[in-house]
Amino acid sequence: MKIHNIFISHSWTYSDAHDKLISFFTREPYFQYKNYSVPKNDPIHNAPYAWQLEGAIERQIRPCSIVVIMAGKYATFSKWIDKEIQIAKRLGKPIIAIRPWDTAQVSSIVRDNADVMVGWNGSSIVNEIKNRSL
């Protein structure tokens, strides 16, 4: 069984969505993954320079087979999610955008850069990861 190396782009302000996504992955049968997201307690969050954080994010995305982005409206205003999208595009990584479960509004930046947009459904998300992973 293939192990999917996944970078999950998200805002720690909305970490409950990240945690629910991880629970989807964990419950899904016949699905193995490794999470390359930058953990909340990673000291790189306190990097004195933006280029250091950007470099750390690129090192996390580089070995991944896919990038998953929460497409909530907040993503439109996040310079870091925009940088993650730019890095994924530059490295040729497929991007899956996940539409929030509680709103119809999505980030136009995420929508316009994603290879596919899926609803907030564990099986749908995992199927797209399986189909689009490098």
Domain boundaries, the chain: 3-132
**What's the CATH fold of domain 3-132?**
Rossmann fold (3.40.50)
Question: Any residues with CB less than 8 A from the CB of 69 and at least 6 apart, and which?
Answer: 8, 9, 10, 75, 81, 84, 85, 95, 96, 97, 98, 110, 114
37 residue type, one letter: S
Tokens standing for 47? 């990097």
How close are the terminal C-alpha atoms of the chain, in Å?
Answer: 14
Residue with tokens 């530059």: 90
Residue 27 phi, psi dihedral angles, 5° rounding: -80, -20
Going residue by residue through the chain (134 aa), what tens digit of pLDDT does each one get? 899 999 998 765 666 778 889 999 999 999 999 999 877 666 566 677 888 888 988 999 999 999 999 887 765 556 788 899 999 999 999 999 998 876 667 888 899 999 999 999 999 999 999 999 98
Q: How many CB atoms lie within 10 A of CB 128?
A: 20
Please give the model's pTM, rounded to 2 decimal places: 0.89
DSSP codes of every residue in 84-129: HHHHHHHHT--EEEE--TT-S---HHHHHH-SEEE-S-HHHHHHHH
Q: What is the pLDDT of residue 47?
A: 74
